Chains A and B, each alone.
Chain A
Amino acid sequence: MDKGDIVAAAGWLLLSAFAFAASLELGVGEARNPGAGFLPFWASAGLALSAGLLPLSAVWREKGSPQGTRAREKAPRTSRRRNSPIAVAALVLYCVALPLLGYLLSTFALMLVLFGLGETSPRTVVIGSLITALSSYGLFAIALGTPLPGGVLGF
């Protein structure tokens, strides 16, 4: 069982503890009159139990495999591995910037980052981002009538 599995199991236990506490606060009720916390209570108990079984099943599997070891498949470490965290960070910043800067500016900035991940020339990235921001604004805001935030540009 690797570190990631342990972190995942701990995360599940945390979620189940949170739901368990919330269900008690809401009131589990009794079988003849189940309360608002009834389902979260049993779901959190089930989650805690199954998350508790995760390390056991990993040990069981490792014991059962030849020579008591498991071949672990690891993704090769390439420069592309950092693409996902960068994309996630860009998306989070986009959520913050969208109401402030508006659709056109924030989308242009987002596309600069996302197209930039693809090892393309800076000129292509800038032109591609500009075209994407404008054409998507045309599609969503003008053609489909989606009210997108105007921000500093006001439209």
Chain B
Amino acid sequence: MDTFSGLYHGFSIALLPGNLLLLTAGCILGTLVGVLPGIGPVGTLSILLPVTFQLEPAGAIIMLAGIYYGVMYGGSITSILVNVPGEAASVVTCLDGHQMARQGRAGPALGIAAFGSFIAGTVGLIGLLLVARPLSAIALRFGPPEYFALLTLGFVLVVALSRGSRIKGLVMAFAGLILSSVGLDPITSQQRMTFGLLPLFEGIGVAPLAMGLFGLAEVFRNLETPVSGQRADIRIGYLLPTRRDWLQAKWAIARGTAAGFLLGILPGGGPVIASFVAYGMEKRMAADPGRLGCGAIEGVAAPESANNAAASTSFIPLLTLGIPPNAVLAVLFGAFLVHGVLPGPLLIRDHPDVFWGVIGSMYIGNTVLLILNLPLIPLWVQVLRIPGRILHPLILLFCLVGAYSINHAVFDMAVMIAFGVAGYLLGKKGYEGPPLILAFVLGPLLEVNLRRSLLMSQGSFSIFLTRPIALGAILCTALLAAAPLRRSIRRRHRRIPRPVPRGGTGNESLDKGEKKP
């Protein structure tokens, strides 16, 4: 099946009435939960994962992809209207989006976010379509050493790009690896750390772990922290951006799309980093950088385009190599596994319906979001008014029933609660969940490929240095791992001779009121 007949096949699957309904429901559900401040895309996907358990694999993945897109768009609505980002990728959208809303231009801000997202998402999908097939073909030639080296690079990137402490990121990644080794050994089928408990023979389930670590933990945090911020009392007005808005935003959309496209593919990248980079680029390239942060439409168009382009292209490593580049895709990877589908180079051959169906549904999902969400904005504003005291108990109940429905066992509920408590307590101490979930999902792949490589080479680690792709990945890993050390030495080097200006604090750039995104 060539690319175009594949795409045609994908459209024919995605446009089946049942799948179209699932896609639309996914987009609406995703936007609905994405609108609620405090529940990010990982939490949303984790919470809504059980909804898909009883569906066919293609329909389930199509729905989950719709949820992912929906949640990305929902996050920007909250950022613009109430200055509370629905998810991390929309943090920078608050800066100009909310200013526009305060100036009575909430409509054009939401409109450009929707159109920018649509354009960037579509470009990202064209890239996915063009790159996925050749990359899958190349990946088929990868052996265990190449996979191990690429997975190691992914781990290091995730830790290096984590927002908090890198050491804490590393701790979480190692904890994820240990948790991933619970269950039967993938090569010898020996029991590992199961305590003789039957439900642990197949390992800890990715769904209860993700639901606990992200869904439950976020609800626990929200239960004790009242969501601050202005309630949505803003007039939306006319939604379509004016000709002037388009002229101002067109290059921002293009640049944001380009940045998102590239950053989405990289392991450890994804929508969050893409949106920050796009905003930074806009600030550097703007004719009048002072406008940004004061309600400039470019400040909405660039990050929104970037995060949607990245959301599309982050599917490339997942679908072609079987490597989820970020935490959201790690949960989606788990969903693939729950439905008995292994993402990777063989996906096109073994599950063409899922592969092409997902790609086809992404095009349609982008259009559905654009058509549905603009008229539904007043409804989303109403959703924002639902008080947390009603919403949070309902989310907890939904998670409980969802965890129970995996195996119809209370054990999964207990696992989810345990990880919920762990995620809540660790979050308080600045530990982030993404390195753990990525390590947990990728751990079995890493282990199998490492052990097979060592068996192939009779125990010689030089196998990773004698194959070009593996060597390249190992060199990148080493450079990335050494980067913080180099930066720290350089900083210390600079600190000693740098004269402190008289009466200065050394933080003059911040003192002058420069805003950090």
Whether, in the assembled complex, B512 has its beta carbon less than 8 Å from a beta carbon of chain A, the answer is no
Selected from A19, A54, A117, A148, the residue in CB contact (under 8 A) with B178 is A19
Q: Are B223 and A54 interface neighbours, CB within 8 A?
A: no
Interfacial chain B residues near A53, Cβ < 8 Å: 167
Q: Whole-angstrom distance between the alpha carbons of A147 and B410 in the complex?
A: 12
Which residues of A109-151 have CB atoms within 8 Å of chain B's CB atoms?
A: 110-111, 114-115, 117-120, 128, 132, 136, 140, 144-148
Q: Which of B181, B185, B428 contacts A43 (CB 8 A)?
A: B181
Find chain B residues with CB under 8 A from A39 CB: 177, 181, 443, 446-447, 450-451
Q: Check if A91 sits within 8 Å of B443, measured CB to CB.
A: no
Secondary structure at the B interface, as helix, strand, loop or mixed, is: helix
Count of chain A to chain B residue pairs whose CB atoms are closer than 8 Å in the complex = 163
- Closest chain A residue to B491 by CB distance? A64
Binds A, one of B95-103, B123-131, B391-399: B391-399
User: In this assembly, does B5 line the interface, its C-beta being within 8 Å of a C-beta of chain A?
Assistant: no
Is the CB–CB distance between B417 and A92 below 8 Å?
A: yes
Tell whether B231 is near chain A: CB-to-CB under 8 Å.
no
A50 at the interface (CB under 8 A from B): yes
> Which of B17-25, B250-258, B351-359, B382-390 is the contact stretch?
B382-390
A81 touches B401 (CB 8 A): no
Interface centre among B192, B414, B446, B460 (most CB of A within 10 A): B192
B171 contacts chain A at the CB level, 8 A cutoff: yes
- By size class, the interface of chain A is 35 or more
Cross-chain contact A140 with B177 (CB below 8 angstroms): no
Q: Are B225 and A91 in contact (CB under 8 A)?
A: no
Task: Give the residues in chain A near B460, CB-CB below 8 Å.
Answer: 31
Chain A proximity mask over B393-426: 1 for CB below 8 Å, otherwise 0: 1101100110011001010011001001100101
Within 8 Å CB of B459, what residues of A? 30-33
Contact A87 B396 (CB under 8 A): yes
Q: Is B234 an interface residue (CB 8 A)?
A: no
Complex contact A26–B192 (CB within 8 A): yes
Closest CB-CB distance, A75 to chain B, in whole Å?
Answer: 7
Q: Could you list 15 further interchain pairs (A-B, Cβ under 8 angstroms) beyond the known A5-B429, A31-B454, A111-B397?
A: A12-B175, A16-B174, A16-B178, A34-B451, A36-B187, A38-B451, A40-B178, A57-B167, A91-B400, A91-B417, A110-B400, A114-B393, A118-B392, A128-B390, A146-B405
By Cβ-Cβ distance, the 10 closest A-B pairs, closest first, are A118-B389, A32-B459, A31-B459, A114-B393, A47-B174, A43-B177, A36-B185, A83-B223, A36-B190, A39-B447
